[in-house]
Amino acid sequence: MEKIKILKRLYFLLVFLCILVGFLAKHDHAVFFWHKIPSIDAIFGALGAILLLVAKKIVHFFTFREENFYD
């Protein structure tokens, strides 16, 4: 269980660093309007990863069967 805590902390640290670096790196020629928003790529990626994890938990809740379900 301790490994999971360390991995979660590492994940959130990396997300924070990516968002911080996004404020330092600018898009010179923004093609789309959202490229003008600092760190939008890092924020979008982090929210997408969290959304995938939540979706996995929801699907697991509805599809989980007990070990001896078919016996």
- b/e code 35-61 from CB counts within 10 Å (16+ = b): eeebbbbbeeebeeeeeeeeeeeeeee
Give the start-to-end residue ranges of the domains of the chain.
2-63
pLDDT at 1: 64
Residue 71 scores a pLDDT above 70:
no
Task: Dump pLDDT digits (tens) for 7-49.
Answer: 989 988 988 898 888 888 776 777 888 888 888 888 888 889 8
Query: For residue 4, what pLDDT band results from cuts at 50, 70 and 90?
Result: confident
